[in-house]
Amino acid sequence: MWTKRPQHRRAVNGIGFDDLLSLDDVDMIVSTMGLRLPSFRLVKDGNTLPSDRYTKTTRTGSQEATGVIDSAAVFREFEDGATLVFQSMHRYWAALAAYCRGLELALGHPVQANAYITPPGAQGFGAHEDEHDVFVLQSHGTKQWRVHDLHDLPPTRPPLIDALLAPGDTLYVPAGFPHSASTQERASVHITIGILTLTWAAVLKEAVKVIESDPALAAPIPLRFAVENGAFVDELGRRLEQVGSSIADIDAEMIARRLRRNVLTTRQPLLRGQIHLLLNLDRIGDESVVTRRAGSICVVETIGDELSVLLGDRELRIPIVAEAAMRLIETGESVSVSDLPGLDAPGRLVLVRRLIREGLLEVVS
């Protein structure tokens, strides 16, 4: 049913999503973290409230900081019926960063996370469509969701799904299916996981980038094309045929590699615990056991006389002599430094310490 039909799933064994974001977490974020725009906003009756109602200007040292969350004002607006929206939480909330990385590894598409905290009896947004697929994870309270048929906006037919989501329930809404939600007697916390699906249109755009440097495409279109349409249409037909032939001749592996690199160098890094690893680098020896971090990305490619290692948020180039060791690390198995093949003892330590600094490896023992 991927991308085809919405789905509603009840919680299994009462397991919820408190570990990702609880109501207490929300209270802590608002009251202590000093968020700045645009990482949050307030919405009421389908409209975003003016930010000057719940932000302030502060100073950090000698620097002025604008758009800083005014915690007291946010709580007042929430009590008055406003929905609090945390945006791009995968960038700063560890639990959701790890969850999104797991989905990215499973789906192969970029993922983002927003959260919506709605007071009792309120509605944040009216019926609307999203341009990407979403998973709704109900963490706290209950929320009534209605999902309508594809592009039925404003809704004219009974909803496909009319369900009360309780903690642990999940709702899948593909792109283009209008949906709306409202809370009941209790406040609601839900997380929306957006799947930023790469489409065949994106593949075509990447292919066009390959051929757009052709000097023939830099030539101007004919003079008077707007009033002498017949000749222009004929010439356009010939040009499109040439472009089609050029695209058909492109190496598909090259396009796939470019798309893969675009995805595998723009993800959010997962670096929890990095400061402890850096402070203990000098304790690593041949007897140390290392492994890849949970959720880490490591794709090794050979480019000329170098290795290209895609780490999720960037590319690392290292000498080809380390290929055997990197292929073993790529598998994700825990390994003693002394067992890394193809390198002498000093080379093994240089590689391992470099990969710890880059956030790929951590020490098991």
Q: Which two tokens stand for residue 257?
A: 């590699």
pLDDT in tens, 321-351: 999 999 999 999 999 999 999 999 999 999 9
Shared-domain flag, residues 118 and 229? no
* 269 belongs to a structural domain: no
Structural domain containing residue 314:
274-363
CB of 284 closer than 8 Å to CB of 337: yes
Q: Which two tokens stand for residue 84?
A: 């609090």
Shared-domain flag, residues 35 and 150? yes
* 23 belongs to a structural domain: yes
| CA 198 remoteness from chain centre | 12
* 266 belongs to a structural domain: no
Question: For the domain that residue 312 is a member of, what is the CATH number?
Answer: 3.90.930.40
**Structural domains of the chain, count:** 3
Measured on CA atoms in the order 293, 295, 301, 307, is the torsion positive or negative? negative
Determine the pLDDT at residue 45: 87
Shared-domain flag, residues 179 and 216? no
pLDDT in tens, 83-137: 999 999 999 999 999 999 999 999 999 999 999 999 998 876 778 999 999 999 9
CB of 326 closer than 8 Å to CB of 317: no
What distance in Å separates the CA atoms of residue 346 and residue 8, rounded to the nearest whole number? 55
**Distances from the Cα of 227 to the Cαs of 86, 223, 224, 230, 241, in angstroms?**
52, 9, 6, 9, 23
Determine the pLDDT at residue 228: 78
Regarding beta strands 7-9 and 179-183, do their DSSP bridges make them parallel or antiparallel, or are they unpaired? unpaired
pTM listed for this prediction? 0.89
Shared-domain flag, residues 73 and 166? yes
Neighbours of 242 (CB within 10 A): 14
The helix (run of H) or strand (run of E) holding residue 143 is strand 143-147
What distance in Å separates the CA atoms of residue 198 and residue 203, rounded to the nearest whole number? 8
Give me the residues of the chain with pLDDT under 70, please.
1, 124
Regarding beta strands 7-9 and 40-44, do their DSSP bridges make them parallel or antiparallel, or are they unpaired? unpaired
Determine the pLDDT at residue 226: 85
Q: Which two tokens stand for residue 109?
A: 């598409």
The helix (run of H) or strand (run of E) holding residue 133 is strand 133-140
Determine the pLDDT at residue 52: 97
Rg, Å, the chain Cα set: 26
Domain boundary among 195, 224, 241: 195
Shared-domain flag, residues 36 and 102? yes
CB of 18 closer than 8 Å to CB of 140: yes
Determine the pLDDT at residue 185: 85
